[in-house]
Amino acid sequence: MPAVAADSFDGCLARLRAPALKTGVSAATFDTHTATLAPDMSVLDLLDFQPEFRTPIWDYMAALVDDERVTDGQAGMERWRADLQRASARYGVDPAVIAAVWGVESNYGQTLGERSLLVSLSTLSCYGRRQAYFRGEFFATLKIIQDEGIAPEKLRGSWAGAFGQTQFMPSTYLRLAVDGDGDGRRDLIDSVPDALASTANFLKHAGWNGGMAWGYEVRLPAGFNAAGAGRKNKRALSHWAGQGITRADGRPLPASDAQAALLLPAGRGGPAFLVTRNFDALYSYNAAESYALAIAHLSDRLRGGGPLVQAWPTDDPGLSRAERRELQTLLIARGYDIGEPDGLIGAHTRNALQKAQRELGLPADGRAGQKVLRALRGDAG
């Protein structure tokens, strides 16, 4: 990434001052919290690489909905049972759905993000795509500091500015965060009850219907014409039943006129789903169908449901986080310096994988899948 002249960034911030003041940010707040800001240009690389859109769905789902996340989530639901039930009763959202968002967004509070919101959002306000959007989030962050009394050093999160236990964007915090523990503050960072209640409030405003499922994994009849698939192409469940579609376990669909759409995230040969407007509410959290499906499926698993019935259409399925850590451990044993085995497949792991794949006679694509894991196990053995 090329260097950025300081006057270019400082000039951008100077131009943002007046628009910020129009949103209610005081001059003192703006001047105080922008005086020493410097851009972090690494966020621009992340802006153009979002796993929801670039990662094969079987890799994405394998890491987000694994046995570890299910076990941890069920333990978290037990620990925070009273708060989940309170949020569910108030906002009409199923406790397992609230917990699934918590699990996908921050691994139940274990991964909140380390980047300064002020640094990331000021950078994205001045460089790259979607500057107008990120300026709104930058101004919202300044308002949180000003009006909510949250110290700027506490506001750390993702590269895009999401923060807290359930990763709200700053503008979403201002609109929808609520006080779940009754202490008079809206704290999504250190208060799990606030985060759970705020997430339920978000989903309620997104149109969640407490009397409806998010959808179902389904089985398509032989020769089914999938031309009508698509999240926005909703028909009554009775229509789909009339087309010969059943639940994946063979049970009939509910006898209902509720509207649902056929979702085929990996095409006709992979798992199929009928999704309702509740799926759309999950989608609104992060505008990616793979993301919404991960939350939906995790919520089913947290209630005691099993894995998907239909396998993904690949001969090289993805790895769980435990398997990713095992793969990294095997790479370290081969002499590759990739840091601690954390289950995150970053540039160092991908580069080491490419070299190991060449040694093992596999396509050197740097992808962490079952084939390379089995080959590494066999070679180590």
pLDDT in tens, 161-193: 999 999 999 999 999 999 999 999 999 999 999
Q: Quote the tokens at residue 352.
A: 């080491």
pLDDT in tens, 93-118: 999 999 999 999 999 999 999 999 99
Window from 44-48, 87-91, 92-96, 321-325 with minimum mean pLDDT: 44-48
pLDDT in tens, 7-28: 699 999 999 999 999 999 999 9
Residue 325: which H helix or E strand, with range?
A: helix 321-333
The whole-chain average pLDDT of the chain stands at 94
Going by pLDDT thresholds of 50, 70 and 90, the confidence category of residue 224 is: very high
Determine the pLDDT at residue 4: 55
CATH number, span 6-48+112-177: 1.10.8.350
Residue 189, judged by CB atoms within 10 A of its CB (0-12, 13-18, 19+), counts as: middle
Q: Please, are residues 198 and 176 in contact by the beta-carbon 8 Å criterion?
A: yes
Q: Mean pLDDT over residues 277-306, rounded?
A: 97
Phi, psi of 4 (to 5 degrees): -115, 130
Give 309-312 contacts, CB < 8 A, sequence gap 24+. 309/217, 309/219, 309/248, 309/249, 309/271, 310/217, 310/219, 310/248, 310/270, 310/271, 310/272, 311/270, 311/271, 312/57, 312/58, 312/61, 312/266, 312/270, 312/271
Q: Is the pLDDT of residue 369 over 60?
A: yes
Catalytic option among 78, 105, 148, 323: 105
Sign of torsion, CA 107 112 114 118? positive
Q: Which residues, other chains included, contact 316 with Cβ-Cβ below 8 Å and sequence gap of 6+?
A: 367, 369, 370, 371
Q: Quote the tokens at residue 215.
A: 């959808």
Domain extent listing, the chain: 6-48+112-177, 321-380
Q: Is the pLDDT of residue 234 over 80?
A: yes
259 vs 212: CA distance, rounded Å: 10
What is the SS3 assignment for 18?
helix
Going by pLDDT thresholds of 50, 70 and 90, the confidence category of residue 6 is: low
Q: Is the pLDDT of residue 194 over 70?
A: yes
Q: Which residues, other chains included, contact 366 with Cβ-Cβ below 8 Å and sequence gap of 6+?
A: 350, 351, 353, 354, 357
Determine the pLDDT at residue 47: 83
CATH of the structural domain 321-380, one choice from 1.10.8, 2.40.128, 1.10.101, 2.30.29: 1.10.101
Going by pLDDT thresholds of 50, 70 and 90, the confidence category of residue 49 is: low
Q: Mean pLDDT over residues 222-238, rounded?
A: 94
Q: Dump strand ranges (E) for 161-245.
A: 215-219, 235-236
The residues pairing with 263 across neighbouring beta strands, listed in sequence order, are 273
Instruction: Report the amino acid identity of residue 122.
Output: S
The model's pTM: 0.93
Q: Mean pLDDT over residues 202-211, rounded?
A: 97
pLDDT in tens, 303-356: 999 999 999 999 999 999 999 999 999 999 999 999 999 999 988 999 999 999
Determine the pLDDT at residue 54: 73
pLDDT in tens, 142-158: 999 999 989 999 999 99
Determine the pLDDT at residue 2: 45
Q: Is the pLDDT of residue 1 over 60?
A: no
Q: Is the pLDDT of residue 372 over 90?
A: yes
Is 289 among the catalytic positions?
no
361 vs 377: CA distance, rounded Å: 14
More confident residue, 320 or 6: 320
